[in-house]
Amino acid sequence: MTMTSTLNLLTWNCHGLGHAIKRKEILCALKKEKADIALLQETHLCDAEHAKLRRAWVGQVYFSSFKSNSRGTAILIHKNVPFIIDKNISDPEGRFILITGSLYGQPITILNIYAPNTDTPAFMSKIITLFNEHCVSFGVVAGDFNCTLNPTLDKS
């Protein structure tokens, strides 16, 4: 007998979660959307502030921090999602968080990215290599890639 499950995965550029009210609003929105796994970018939180997310979120929280006023990524996994962590790779520059583990008994890799807003081929190459090194089966890559289709239109 096989069991199928659906997961509601949500990715969101938060533009900063430094204020307690904004953190609460984002977490309420994730609850309303019934997010099973949330990938947050531009959290603007230091390690200690990310711990506040852990207290407020009902589940697992993995993050990478830079400075409290820039960058930062987080992966939030709801308590009802049977994810078992194997590895957590946190970027000291706050640009990505990569976790590997098992979900419903199957290997999974999740990579959340907050890319620089400049053309940085070296960063993308690093990310692709990192993901390829750690993904052995199913993988998810999501986040804010800071790409523009039309720089003149999109950056004005």
Q: Annotated binding residues for Mg(2+), as ranges?
A: 13, 42
Q: If you search the block for the tokens 């006023």, which residue do you land on? A: 69
What is the four-CA torsion angle of 14, 17, 19, 25, rounded to 10 degrees? 60
Give residue 32's identity as a one-letter amino acid code.
K
Point out the annotated binding site. Answer: 13, 42
Distances (CA, A) of 136 to 101, 106, 107, 139, 147: 10, 10, 7, 8, 27
Closest CA to 19 of 11, 29, 27, 10: 27
Percent of the chain that is helix, strand, coil (3-state, to 5): 25, 35, 40
